């Protein structure tokens, strides 16, 4: 199975910003653990702070499943929502933190409705749980 892990805006700061929320590991370290977990699958990783680049990554994806942590784009990007509905590959929305236990603006996702499912609150394991969901 080929899985594409997409991380959006500010996720490159993981391990540097708000360590109490997102943990001490960098995105590179987390991605290495994800790749080790899915050692019998093909994993591709992409991160961008640009909304348009996330849309292009979704449009150009060639894989069986996409795991998307859009970061703050989750809460307002109709462009990313439209990119998800433009493709036939299923997308699972992921958040490391439990967005529903945080500020009010994080309770809204404009992409959940067009995603296969949503996983939030399990730190780096949110990505692994989302990847595993494609095997159910
Ligand atoms: C996040 C939650 C978002 O609200 C936030 O803007 C992020 C990270 C998470 O992984 O918990 O950048 O998507």
In three-state secondary structure terms, 67 is strand
State residue 115's pLDDT score. 98
* Top-tier CATH class for 2-133: alpha beta
Q: Which residue has the tokens 């994993």?
A: 43
Please state, in angstroms and rounded to a whole number, the distance separating the CA atoms of residues 89 and 22. Answer: 28
CA 100, 104, 106, 111 dihedral sign is positive
Cα angle: 26, vertex 31, 35; to 5 degrees: 155
Q: In order along the chain (136 residues), what is the average pLDDT of each group of 10 residues?
A: 98 97 97 98 98 98 98 98 98 98 98 98 98 98
Which ligand 1 atom sits nearest the alpha carbon of residue 70? 13
Catalytic site includes residue 22: yes
Q: Determine which residue's CA is closest to atom 7 belonging to ligand 1.
A: 71
> What is the predicted pLDDT for the residue at 123?
98
Q: Can you give the residue ranges of every domain in the chain?
A: 2-133
Tell me, what DSSP letter sits at residue 17? B
Q: How far apart are CA 26 and CA 43, in angstroms?
A: 18
For a ligand 1 pocket test, name from 12, 17, 72, 126 the mutation site with the most ligand atoms within 8 angstroms of its C-beta.
72
Is the torsion defined by CA of 18, 105, 114, 87 positive or negative?
A: negative
């Amino acid at each position: 199975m080929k899985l594409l892990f997409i991380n959006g805006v500010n996720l490159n700061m993981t391990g540097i910003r708000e360590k109490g929320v997102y943990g001490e590991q960098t995105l590179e370290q987390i991605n290495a653990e994800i790749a080790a977990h899915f050692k019998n699958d093909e994993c591709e990783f992409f991160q961008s702070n640009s909304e348009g680049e996330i849309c292009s990554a979704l449009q150009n994806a060639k894989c069986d499943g996409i795991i998307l942590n859009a970061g703050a784009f989750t809460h307002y990007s109709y462009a990313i929502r439209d990119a998800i509905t433009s493709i036939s590959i299923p997308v699972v929305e992921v958040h490391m933190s439990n967005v529903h236990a945080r500020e009010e603006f994080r309770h809204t996702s404009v992409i959940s409705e067009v995603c296969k499912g949503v996983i939030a609150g399990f730190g780096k394991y949110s990505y692994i749980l989302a990847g595993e969901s494609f095997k159910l």
